[in-house]
Structure 1
Amino acid sequence: MIAGWSDAALWFAGAIVLVIAEILAPGFFLIFLAVGAGIAGLVAIVPGVPVLVQALVCAGATAATVALGWRWYRGARMGVAVDPLLNDRAARLIGERVSVCEPIVGGAGRVRVADGSWPAHGADAAAGAYVRVVAVRDGALVVEPVAP
């Protein structure tokens, strides 16, 4: 106990200071320390728990929350893997069925994808025909005809 403050009050005050510091200087790393201090404060409420045990609880809780945070940031939350094509719009189009908006003649034309059009290479196809995207090469979609 310091200056009339209980150990629990000191841990909770430290946790609050760390949360405020996290809000003022965001980086999402002080929050882990704040959680550890808060859990140590809960342990300190129990009468007779030595300060060393409280500090070890704080360290263990901080380590556990850092591990959980690391797992969260790595995208492994609830077993969901990070989407490897998240920022690769062209690669996400592979396998999609799209319509030809400018006829593919001599192996080159354009296809409609959502509200835009992309250059396309493939077998000749009339405007309005449907094709499937099989690859992306040099910013153009490689397409093949599909049955209507």
Structure 2
Amino acid sequence: MTEMFSTLGTWNWLIFGFILMALELAAPGVFLFWFGLAALLVGLVSFAAHPSWQTQLLMFAVFAVAAVPIWRRLAASPSRASRSNPFLNRRAAALVGRVFTLEKPIIDGTGTVRIDDTIWRVAGPDAPAGSRVKVVRADGANLTVAAA
């Protein structure tokens, strides 16, 4: 076993790293990618310096363990898309405060309004079709309106 470790070299680490990253593509789970990256880093360090096999294994362990908090920090940070569009998965919430024209009158507290290419059900005080209403609350796909 010691003889196998003593033959560890740059190419072994690079090949091992690429194999781990390929396995990540075959069975995604995120952790094999970081082990593969750690192996590639050990291979790159082995190009510049020629550490002993014990040092190489220690570097692999340190890089693999250091990758965990880095990965957690990257995974926890909000994506650029969610910061640029805070209502991405809450379309109805983005309508609060906007004014629209009733498509069908509000009778007995229920009517409809066309917003872009969608017809939304609205609740509010009775009003004739064509009236301007302001969305005051969104609850799921139901909008509550008031006279604008």
Q: Does 1:112 align with 2:75?
A: no
Q: Does 1:66 align with 2:89?
A: no
> What do the CA deviations read for 1:96-147 (whole angstroms, capped 9, x no partner)?
333211112343211112211121112333323332211134742101222x
1:100/1:131 contact within 8 Å kept: yes
- Structure 1: stretches of 5+ with no match in the other structure: none
> What do the CA deviations read for 1:66-109 (whole angstroms, capped 9, x no partner)?
3333233334357x669775433333432333321111234321
Count of aligned positions: 145
| Alignment match of 2:25 (pick from 2, 23, 28) | 23
1:100/1:110 contact within 8 Å kept: yes
1:75/1:81 contact within 8 Å kept: no
Q: Give 1:127's aligned residue.
A: 129
Aligned counterparts, 1:1-148, within 5 A = 2=4, 7-77=9-79, 86-137=88-139, 139-146=141-148
Q: Distance in 1 between matches of 2:50 and 2:14?
A: 18
The one-letter code sitting in structure 2 at the alignment partner of 1:11 is W
Runs of 4+ in 1 over 6 A off after TM superposition: none
- Structure 2: stretches of 5+ with no match in the other structure: none
Q: Secondary structure at the match of 1:111?
A: strand
Q: Secondary structure at the match of 2:119?
A: strand
Identity %: 30
Please, which moves more after superposition, 109-118 or 49-58? 49-58
The one-letter code sitting in structure 1 at the alignment partner of 2:48 is V
Output the TM-score relative to the length of structure 2: 0.75
1:71/1:77 contact within 8 Å kept: no
Deviation at 1:38, TM superposition (A): 0.4
